[in-house]
Amino acid sequence: MSPHATAYTRAVIALGSNLGARNDTLSAAVADLVDPPEVRLLAISPIVQSKAVGGPPDQPDFLNMVIAVETSLSPEELLRHCHAVEHKHLRVREVRWGPRTLDVDIVTYGELVSSDPDLTLPHPRAAERAFVLYPWSLIEPAARLNGERVGELAAKAADFADLAPFDGFEDLNGVAGAVEAP
């Protein structure tokens, strides 16, 4: 390595969408997240479908996925980048845990532990959310969070039973594609 080589840190980022063309939004968001040269894609999980956790009742189901990246951005710069990608995809923050076109969360940033209210690391609720843990376990089976394997944490999470594989077909209302009777 040259003395001017840039240090890269591995980060895990969770993405979710429950409004609009969810699958297209997630695909475009991944491309946007890894567009700058400071963010390199290492792995991308399959998409899972999950019920909304928290927030208003009767929300459409979410599509969720996880990516692993390496980045030369600082944690704060990466957070700003994630928020810019959310904004590009018309994320509106009106209701806590409400429906949204795109949600991008930094789950881990290297081994960094931070209690900063703007960027708590590891993500404060990731260890209890199967919709983050399960896709993460598919791309990094040996990954650990809070000292436990992410796959084992996923299996214990309250929302694990609500996860479903996503078949890739949907209409624009966040509902798996159904064939209308004539």
Q: Is 167 a catalytic residue?
A: no
**Residue 9, both tokens:** 């840190």
Coil, strand, or helix at residue 138? helix
Pairwise CA distance, residues 29 & 142, whole Å: 26
Pairwise CA distance, residues 67 & 59, whole Å: 24
Q: Which of 22, 32, 61, 91 is catalytic?
A: 91
Q: Which of 22, 32, 61, 103 is catalytic?
A: 103
Q: Which of 100, 149, 159, 171 is catalytic?
A: 100
Q: Is 105 a catalytic residue?
A: yes
Q: Is 93 a catalytic residue?
A: no
Whole-Å CA distances, 49 to 128, 140, 147, 168? 16, 19, 26, 10
Q: Is 118 a catalytic residue?
A: no
Tell me the one-letter amino acid at 75. Answer: P
By annotation, the residues acting in catalysis are 91, 100, 103, 105
